[in-house]
Amino acid sequence: MKHRWMVLLLILLLVLSACSGTKEMTMYYKQREISYDGSGLIGSQTVRCPEPVTAKSLADIYFGLEPEDDLCDPFPEDTKRVKSRIEDGILYLTLSESFGTLEGAELSLAMTCITMTFSQLPDVEAVELSVENGFLQEQQSIRLSADDVMTQDDGLGALDVVLTVYRAGDG
């Protein structure tokens, strides 16, 4: 009798664990070693997240995760989600003050990684980043969508130019 209850309990635990689903999400980070041979500036790793995946749960995982060996965080170490809300397809994400220390290319890279990560959420079309008690590049907030992000520079391959060369004559 005792053995039967243990078997039933084990089956129940297996069923419950199968019901609690997970979803694979891609986390985007800066490449540890930047190369110009095709691997680029940004790399990714896949992580299993418990469902339902929300902006808050994704932020907790993303900012708390230690990236794989060939990747590194593009933002200051103590960057955290302060608050977030999704409205009309825009994820309004407020980060801790340390994120506001980023400037120029480093800020662009960090924003790109964050936007690509959070744009996977089904109701997110763009991410608007702001900093608690601060500014980003002297702005209240900056909005970026995944469509705004250029992940590979393939512009040279797509450009066909016809040139006509004229030379001055002798007469």
pLDDT band at 150 (very low <50, low <70, confident <90, very high): low
Omega prior to 67 cis, within 30 of 0: no
pLDDT at residue number 171: 55
Q: What is the pLDDT of residues 37-79, one digit of tens each?
A: 666 789 999 999 999 999 999 999 999 999 998 999 999 988 9
Instruction: Work out the mean pLDDT of the chain and round it to a whole number.
Output: 82
Helix (H, G, I), strand (E, B) or coil at 162: coil
Strand partners, 63: none
pLDDT at residue number 21: 85
Length of the chain: 171
pLDDT at residue number 95: 94
Q: What is the pLDDT of residues 114-145, one digit of tens each?
A: 999 999 999 999 999 999 988 887 888 889 88
pLDDT band at 20 (very low <50, low <70, confident <90, very high): low
pLDDT band at 16 (very low <50, low <70, confident <90, very high): very low
% pLDDT > 70, the chain: 78
pLDDT at residue number 40: 77
pLDDT at residue number 170: 64
Torsion region of 65: left, alpha or beta (phi above 0 gives left; psi -120 to 50 gives alpha): beta
pLDDT at residue number 19: 47
pTM of the entire predicted model: 0.74
- Give phi and psi for 73, each to the nearest 5: -65, 135
Torsion region of 88: left, alpha or beta (phi above 0 gives left; psi -120 to 50 gives alpha): left
